Chains A and B, each alone.
Chain A
């Protein structure tokens, strides 16, 4: 054997080691997050129970039902549409692990685009996981990518033409919040959309809330975006939230901006559709060092500088926007929306307890409200 052939074998052995090590890390991202069903969870289902074609596929996410014995309304809360916007998923986790519904019922999904959680964006410097110290030990959750994993949906077209004939960039074909109302004959992401809308329709959800985060330089931030049938409810809620020193921008869902939850859920079902945004520096374009600390604290000197220059749509200082603040805003807003829905539509009353307040989250931390893993 020639010398160069021996070297080729040695290099291939080294390459195989690198491939195995990196593959182990990527495969680790496929493992499910541990979610503890609290005492308020009465039953669970799968997305495929509403759209059987998803059965056996990675995207077949869990659905949790928190039901009471008292008749009332149905509230649907969706987290994890975009897995790089963690406050939505973490808010729903607290509902699953702590909320007890005493009137009506809640239906929640913590990881809407489960495929998006099976990978992240290494070239964005994204962390793979985020961790919380709890009274019972350490808990971790995946920090995923904004879009469906390409190993589940490939290839991206150059231009994504959505179901309404609108042209979007090719990668938006894997964006769950562009594919509604979904299409049973469509691509992987559109099928997930279809399944989620089937949940809303079959369960006759009165109010449906989609939880998001936005980068601080994005205009729609700390906002409630409401479908026109939900605008009265959202208006009252924004006033109530201001009374609690939580400022929210109220946006009406643009009728021509198709494919999004706040538009299509409202147009294709009887639900009142609402989307909410909190401030997340780790997905912004002018952030500095990107790591788990940025995701959890929101502290970033580049954003502090940008705020000083008046370039942001949210206040930003050295305190950042910690995950407790972002989750607290979502949970408080959900509570206020549900409370006002009960006032506006008494037959659709939903009542629940067990969720920490905004101040409690800030004081004691997110991990303090996670349940022990059995």
Chain B
């Protein structure tokens, strides 16, 4: 794995953690749902599946 790919994956991990944290703070259901949609491609790329 190249350095740039490692940094890329760390950025994705960081953003995913932030989004999950935000989901627990968010009181609006639709905003929580929107956050979950953002997580899906992030997780798939974090594990280099897609």
Q: A residues bordering B, Cβ < 8 Å? A: 4-5, 7-8, 11-12, 14-15, 18-19, 22-23, 26-27, 119, 151, 154-155
Residue among B24, B39, B44, B47 making CB contact with A4, cutoff 8 Å = B24
For chain B, residues 1 to 50, give those with C-beta under 8 angstroms from any C-beta of chain A.
4-5, 8, 20, 23-24, 26-27, 29, 32-33, 36, 39-40, 43-45, 47-50
Residue among B4, B23, B49 making CB contact with A27, cutoff 8 Å = B49
With contacts A19-B40, A27-B49 taken as known, whether A8 is within 8 angstroms of B8 at the C-beta atoms is: no
The CA of A12 and the CA of B36, in the complex, are separated in Å by 7
Contacts of A27 in B (CB 8 A): 49
Q: Which of chain A's residues has its CB closest to B29's CB?
A: A7
Residue among B5, B43, B44, B47 making CB contact with A154, cutoff 8 Å = B5
With contacts A5-B24, A151-B49, A155-B4 taken as known, whether A18 is within 8 angstroms of B40 at the C-beta atoms is: yes
The CA of A15 and the CA of B48, in the complex, are separated in Å by 17
Inter-chain CB contacts under 8 Å: number = 50
The CA of A88 and the CA of B47, in the complex, are separated in Å by 32
Q: What distance in Å separates the Cβ of A328 from its nearest Cβ neighbour in chain B?
A: 35
With contacts A4-B24, A7-B29 taken as known, whether A151 is within 8 angstroms of B40 at the C-beta atoms is: no
Contacts of B32 in A (CB 8 A): 4, 7-8, 11
Q: What distance in Å separates the Cβ of A23 from its nearest Cβ neighbour in chain B?
A: 5
Contacts of B4 in A (CB 8 A): 154-155
Contacts of B40 in A (CB 8 A): 15, 18-19, 22
A151 contacts B48, C-beta separation under 8 Å: yes
